[in-house]
Every structure is written in structure tokens, then in C-alpha cells.
Amino acid sequence: MHEAKWATDGVAVFKSSIESLWPVYLVVNNLPSSIRMNKENMILCCVWFGPKPSMKSLLKPVVEMLQSLHVAGISIKVPEGMKTLRAILLMVFLILWQRHQLLI
């Protein structure tokens, strides 16, 4: 079983705009800490473009994808043949307003 954590934070597209980009990244905790946060090891799950999103609407597709990955897994080819990879979300990093939106 592989463990993952996700992170998201928005960035304004223009100084005077209400539009922003919100990438959601997954990081695999099973990787050594020295390479875990390298950009080639981070998984971009989704990107929101627009006004600040509701965290429920932004993260719902990610949660559904992770549930499927935990239950069914994905098949990958390794030198020994095919292997099923499953994962579980271990941590979520949210700032205060994001956490509040998920709790209500």
C-alpha cells in the first residue's frame, strides 16, 4: 500500500483580477524524503481556474479518484511483469479557510 498526501493553494493570475489558479498536487510518502518533493515525483491531479473555488467542489473529483485507486488500484508494468498499485491518502494540507469550507 502506498501513502500519499495532497496540497493545494491558489495564486492570482493577474494583480487586479479575481481569477486564480488552484493546482492540487499529490505527493507519494513512500519515496525517500530527499526526492519526495522533486517536481518529477509530484502528481498534478487537477487545476482550477476562476474565482476562489469551494474546496468541496475542487476536491470532490480528487477524493473520488483516490477512493478508486485505493479499492481497485491501477495496473503497472514492472520488470517482473504486471503489478497492481493501490494507494491511500495519508494527509491533507489546508489553510484555515479551506479547512472551514470542508467541515461545513
C-alpha grid cell for residue 36? 519526495
DSSP labels for 3-60? EEEEEE--EESSTT-S-EEEEEEEEETTS-TTTTTSGGGEEEEEEEEESPPPHHHHHH
Q: What digits encode the pLDDT tens for the residues 24-82?
A: 888 888 888 899 889 888 888 888 898 888 877 877 887 888 788 888 888 888 889 99
* pLDDT over 60 (residue 100): no
Using a cut of 0.75, tell me whether the model's pTM lies above it: no
For residue 93, the cross-strand partners are: 7
